[in-house]
Structure 1
Amino acid sequence: MKTTRSSYKSISLSYMVAIGFLVLFCSASFAASTKMKPYVLASTSKVAHATAIKQTQAALTKAGFSIVGNYVPYKNAHIIIVTNALLKSTALKSKQGGFGATQRISVTLVKDEVQVAYTNPSYMFNAYRMKGDISPVANSLKAALGYVKEFGSSYGMTAASLRKYHYKIFMPYFDNPILNAKFDSHNTAVTTVENNLAKKVGGVSKVFRLDLGNNQTLIGVRLTKGCGGDKLIMDRIDKKVLKSTAHLPYEILVSDKKVMALPAKFRIAISFPSLSMVGSNSFYSIMCAPGSISKALTKVVGKS
């Protein structure tokens, strides 16, 4: 049987197409099965804490990130909150996506060593059920700050697991926000929250404000009172060698005329997914925090 040159080309093309589909399938399968952890350790060093903060801020700015806020929740801890055009546009593509409009970078002094770490963009992207491609943000942070390893979870979670995450049965999911306070307009909602934060109602004050457009505003807050205070919570549960300082700050999202926040039973759990239910340094040690946080934030929206 005589095989023509065109037949060879046809077979070769079919083979290449088949290989291409196989590579795409394997890549997709690998990505789907990749387990992620909440934080990325960028570096450790012996430089002065203040120097490390300035160097980190400069590196972020050089990489095209805008610094929207700085937060010092307690001694030896500094958190830099950043965004960029891609983060903001991606946040507008999904319901409650505004919660993922920033990345948090922590510069923490632990004994005589400075740890620079940041929230894992891919982890948060999936935990907050966002749409699009977050890899450019992850690549930019890696190039700007470095990459040692992911941490903050014993085993990590796949994208599918993160998108349907809740800590335990009967615990809230991402799409079960608290507050749900409604106002006459977006501007009225933002103004009410801003005014109450300025008064430090409920022991809550503003860390940053980010206007995303399309009547979406993300506001980072400092919690200071009672069992829901930032320092108290972190003192009790952030006990590992690598610090999860970038869990902070808590956020309020003003979406159109509605003000909402993520429930602490989700917001804390997604940042500390391996935290045990009982025992020392467990959720039991902060069992009063969810109610305390909800009560404080409810006062901020002027509904009690």
Structure 2
Amino acid sequence: MGLQTISQVSKGLNISTRTLRYYEQIGLVNSVKKDDYAYRTYDEAAIRRLEQIIVLRKLRIPLKQIVLILESDNISEVIAAFEQNLTEVDSEISALSTIKSILNRFITHLNENMHVGIKLNLLDDASILNIVNSLTVTKAKFKEERSMEDLNQANHRLRKLRDTDVRIVYLPPATVAAIHCVGRLAEIESGNLLGKFVRDHHLAQIKPDLRHFGFNHPEGEKPDGSDHGYERWVTIPEHMEVQKPFLKKHFQGGLYAAHMIPMGAFEEWGLLSDWAMNSAKYEMHLGDQEIYYGLLEEHLNYINTYSLSPDDSTQQIDLLLPIKEKMVL
């Protein structure tokens, strides 16, 4: 297979370079650098490990447990991790099976009374209770063998965002202090600088409603990620002045589609984009290329977490996609 650059791995495994960089930052996978080659690359072992991570993510296993599964020499710990996820899946199957059974009973009830021409009291509390009490809910039975294609199709169906998964939010205009770093560790370096800025200026005290945004700047094209940049903003009082390397900027705000992810699930940018392209009411409204077309990541509850490192897996992030309402013809 040979060594592959980050861009080659990204295309070959259909995984974003941002996600690859994050996996490396948290020690989940390692790249290598040869003395006679300028770029960092991924060897066959790293690529094989990435393939394992991708499969585990499609099985809806959190990154924290993936680290345990791949690193632990204790088979009992690995089994326990799988069993915990299996219990959660069983609960979902039972819930969905109950809903399916009730819907089937409703359909049967309506077909039996179709000649009456009315829905009767189908949705009365007593009627629902009678139907539910008559159910015998059984867990779904699956074939023992499933192919990778089956897994990919299941993952696509389960990970597809519905309207209820996406919040429509308006971000108000704001004055921000911006820090921009370039290089393989741009996210970490900019995060450390921003955290120091917040502490040094006691920003949590003078602006308790502060918000923290970030975005790729630029995405970067070099295989080693040395030209990749990340910019972070923290909202500040309008009158406040900042010193280099920070810049004072004005954010215009606007309408956004918001989808919350745990730290590291950056592949869900694709899910949010798919939602926007298939929405009946909204469409993407991309903006200035200098701020990554308006695609923002907001670190939620930042006022309580700015002392943590940017790769802390307990953090939650809002993916923010600029949108506008579709024109009604």
TM normalised by structure 2 equals: 0.22
More strand by share: 1
TM normalised by structure 1 equals: 0.23
| Higher Cα radius of gyration | 2
